[in-house]
Amino acid sequence: MDTLNIGTYAFQSRLIVGTGKYPSMDVMRAAHEASGAEMVTVAIRRINLDDPTGKTMLDYIDRTKLRLLPNTAGCYSAKDAILTAHLARELCETDLIKLEVIGDPDTLHPDSRETLAAAEALIADGFTVLPYIGDDPVVCKQLEELGCAAVMPLAAPIGSGLGVCNPYTIRIIKERAKIPVIVDAGVGTASDAAIAMELGVDALLMNTGIAAAKDSVLMASAMRNAVIAGRQAFLAGRMEKRLYANASSPMRDLISSTGA
Amino acid sequence: MASNDDGVKATINGEIHELPDGTTVAQLLEQLGAPRSGIAVARNARVVRRAEFETQRLADGDLVEIIKAVAGG
């Protein structure tokens, strides 16, 4: 069995999906089912004091099938991320946290310094920390050394759907990491997912690629298959590329219309 | 122990609220009409555990965050 281990948690699916941007909760739930994912992300926000009684995202997630991965999205400082993580742990009853500390509102690139500081504090507090981070092998190694359970480098900006823009740095990160590498952000369609998995990364986290598809449920199924296909292709080991053709059929004993 | 008849001023999710002296977290949630489940509370950047909702009393100047899970990636 090709199991993915993150900290003390084991997964058969290598696809982690989000809960954002779906046209409806019904579509989201059907997409979650079709994706085969075993873990979904949620964000943490203040309740609306003018309407505090409404349903929350937790009402729409089947927690008998799906593990929660709360995030600290929207935080711009280690301090805010740490408080958000503690609230998330209390709310979601999990020590898993997707640590996200943003450094720039336009690119949504992470702030490495604040991410490292928050990771250190949260690990000391017993969290299983999965940091969203840039594709920097040095920072990824530093996060590993702090005790993160995985690193989650971006393949392209969050929500951009640009695909894997940095295959070489992702490969370098994976080659040097002793913890799982999860590509988080950038995957726009099934081929992107397969390409990412063929690089050898351990899993993918995606939200918009599924939620913003015209048919989210069908795309969720496509992503599920692409992650499996990419993983199998990586494990199988691809053929070497060559510049010239190399016939697949024998070149001996060819039929001749001229009798030659 | 001195009682403060003027009540306490606490900042709840960024809004200043005037509350009766001795208001507990549980009473605050009730007053706001907020449910007890599906939410979590922090007081002055520390989580208030569910078991402490009845016993933790708000003090003047407290910063309170009441949160829930929402859609996100």
**Does A20 contact B71 at a Cβ distance shorter than 8 Å?**
yes
- A161: CATH: 3.20.20.70
| Average model confidence (pLDDT) across chain B | 92
CA angle A17, A31, A182 (to 5 degrees): 20
Q: Is A250 among the domain residues?
A: no
| Inside any domain, residue A246 | no
The residue among A27, A28, A48, A49 with the most chain B CBs within 10 A of its CB, best to mutate, is: A49
Find, among A38, A72, A43, A40, the residue nearest to A56 by Cα. A43
Inter-chain Cβ pairs, chain A and chain B, closer than 8 A: 114
CA-nearest residue to B45 within chain A is A83
Chain B hits for A88, CB-CB cut-off 8 Å, are: 40
- Residue B6 has a pLDDT of 75
Q: Kindly list the residues from chain B whose CB atom is less than 8 angstroms away from the CB atom of residue A159.
A: 73
Residue A124 CB neighbours (<10 A): 10
Per the domain annotation, does A15 fall within a domain? yes
Test B67 with A46 for CB contact under 8 angstroms.
yes
Residue A86, domain member (yes or no): yes
Domain that holds residue A54: 4-236
Phi, psi angles (nearest 5°) of residue A121: -65, -40
Determine, yes or no, domain membership for A252.
Answer: no
How close does chain B come to A56, measured CA to CA in Å? 6
Tell whether A44 lies on the interface with B, counting CB pairs under 8 A.
yes
- Give the whole-angstrom CA distance, residue A122 versus residue A147: 10
Q: Does A20 touch chain B (CB under 8 A)?
A: yes
- Asked, for residue A120, whether it belongs to a domain, the answer is yes
Name the strand (E) or helix (H) holding A46. strand A39-46
ipTM over 0.90: yes
Distance CA A181, CA A153 (A): 7
Q: How many domains does chain A have?
A: 1
Alpha helices in A50-136 (DSSP H): 78-92, 112-124
Structure confidence by residue, pLDDT tens digits, A178-204: 999 999 999 999 999 999 999 999 999
A153: closest CA among A176, A129, A137?
A137
Residue B31 predicted with pLDDT over 50: yes
In angstroms, the Cα distances linking A91 to A4, A47, A181 are 25, 13, 27
State percent of chain A over pLDDT 90.
Answer: 96
Does residue B18 sit in helix, strand or coil?
A: strand
Tell me, yes or no, whether A209 lies in a domain.
yes
pTM score of the predicted model: 0.93
> Which of helix, strand or coil describes residue A83?
helix
So what's the pLDDT on residue B5? 63
Q: Looking at residues A72-85, what average pLDDT do you find?
A: 98
In this structure, is residue A242 part of a structural domain?
Answer: no
Interchain proximity A41–B14, CB inside 8 Å: no
pLDDT at A250: 93
Question: B70 with A57: CB under 8 angstroms?
Answer: yes
Inter-chain touch B69–A206, beta carbons under 8 Å: no
Determine whether the interchain pair B69/A86 forms a contact, defined as Cβ–Cβ distance below 8 Å.
no
Across the strands, what pairs with A102?
A110
